Amino acid sequence: MKYYIIAGESSGDLHGANLMKHLKRFDAEAKFRFWGGDMMLKQDDSIVKHYKDLAFMGFTEVLTHLYTIFNNLRLCKKDIINFKPNVLILIDYPGFNLRISKFAKKSNIKIFYYISPQIWAWKKSRIKTIKKNVDKMFVILPFEKDFYKSCGMDVDFVGHPLLDVIEDYQKNNASDNTSNKNIVAILPGSRKQEIKKMLPVMLDAAANFPDMQFVVAGISSVDKHVYDIISNYKNVVIKYDCTCDILAESRAAMVTSGTATLETALFGVPEVVCYKGSILSYYIAKYFIKVKYISLVNLIIDKSAVEELIQHDFNSSKLTNSLSAILFDTEIKEKIQKNYHSLREKLGNTGASEKTAKLMIERLKKQTL
């Protein structure tokens, strides 16, 4: 069968790659066209567009790139028609993917959505587009099944694919269990715009801990110049495309809000979650977003398990204090680990990518009989 997959961010690239791997296992004749990144390229070379050319964050940033976005939409629609896929698989990235879903539905193309947009946080009105256009939704967060049920949709909860990524990593990489680790991870994000906002403040906080070694998780597909500022700090180095390696040896972490907050927690690393957008984007988001937390860790267990420093609270002084607490306060560290245990219990078992691939193929085969 022919699969057209659209992932617009680094996390979608990772999960898209693992899904492709299992689709190939269960469908020996699988053919792909995709929008994604380097991880998906390892599975197949039929890339249409790299996500680094797609990732625009925040309201004002999107407005300034409207011409590029509309050109990408036109290219995508034309390419889908030329490829004639058996199914279009959308991975998160709702601003782009929901527009494509409308086009694909009118073109009588089967649509699967893997990894739900966070419509439970904001823009709940998008449920109308999903119900109208998407044939089947495969969700990865435990509360999403009940959310969609309340909206009149039956979706499949498949578990979180990060569990597989981390389990595979830990099986293949022995840990030295060093108790005196002095390494702190800095995860400033995967988009150029957010790195430029987040990294300087994180580095200023790092300067207040001269005895610690800070390691920035860099993304090679991002313009290298965005990381030039690191050279001004003696106790900071950068390593590219090896976030798991960095987290596996870290004692604590400063993490930009996103999937990386969950990844950090599943490695058992105490973290401070950080986020800052443009002033306009922040106030628009504050008005529309209807959840108590921004980090997936806190959202999943529905409590403040890790500290969140958002917008005005995200500054060097507060970040220094928060980082000091998770590095040196034994009581706080123990509380975080208990919350991480609850998180793992709620996420369920491993095997999300494999399960999703099986369900997709079974559904497609039934519909072609």
Judgement on whether residues 362 and 316 belong to the same structural domain of the protein: no
Strand ranges in 117-250 using DSSP code E only, listed in sequence order: 136-139, 156-157, 183-187, 213-218, 236-240
Distance CA 153, CA 183 (A): 45
8 Å CB contact between 216 and 228: no
Distance CA 26, CA 357 (A): 8
Judgement on whether residues 135 and 182 belong to the same structural domain of the protein: no
Judgement on whether residues 211 and 304 belong to the same structural domain of the protein: yes
- The reported pLDDT for the residue numbered 286 is 57
Judgement on whether residues 245 and 299 belong to the same structural domain of the protein: yes
- The reported pLDDT for the residue numbered 178 is 47
Give the tokens for residue 68.
Answer: 């590029």
Q: Show the low-confidence residues of the chain (pLDDT under 70).
A: 55-67, 175-180, 278-291, 368-369
CA angle 161/169/261 to nearest 5° reads 55
- The reported pLDDT for the residue numbered 327 is 97
Give the tokens for residue 33.
Answer: 């066209």
Residue 56 has phi, psi (to 5 degrees) of -115, 130
Judgement on whether residues 147 and 271 belong to the same structural domain of the protein: no
Judgement on whether residues 261 and 173 belong to the same structural domain of the protein: yes
Judgement on whether residues 9 and 108 belong to the same structural domain of the protein: yes
Judgement on whether residues 172 and 127 belong to the same structural domain of the protein: no
Judgement on whether residues 72 and 188 belong to the same structural domain of the protein: no
* Collapsed DSSP state (helix, strand, coil) of residue 85: coil
Tens of pLDDT, residue by residue over 319-366, are: 999 999 999 999 999 999 999 999 999 998 899 999 999 999 999 998
Domain total in the chain: 2
- The reported pLDDT for the residue numbered 367 is 74
- The reported pLDDT for the residue numbered 280 is 60
The CATH number of the domain where 33 resides is what? 3.40.50.2000
Question: Which residues, other chains included, contact 63 with Cβ-Cβ below 8 Å and sequence gap of 6+?
Answer: none
8 Å CB contact between 90 and 6: yes
Domain range for residue 237? 165-347
Judgement on whether residues 281 and 360 belong to the same structural domain of the protein: no
8 Å CB contact between 254 and 187: yes
Tens of pLDDT, residue by residue over 173-182, are: 876 554 457 9
- The reported pLDDT for the residue numbered 59 is 47
Distance CA 364, CA 89 (A): 12
Judgement on whether residues 80 and 196 belong to the same structural domain of the protein: no
Judgement on whether residues 137 and 197 belong to the same structural domain of the protein: no
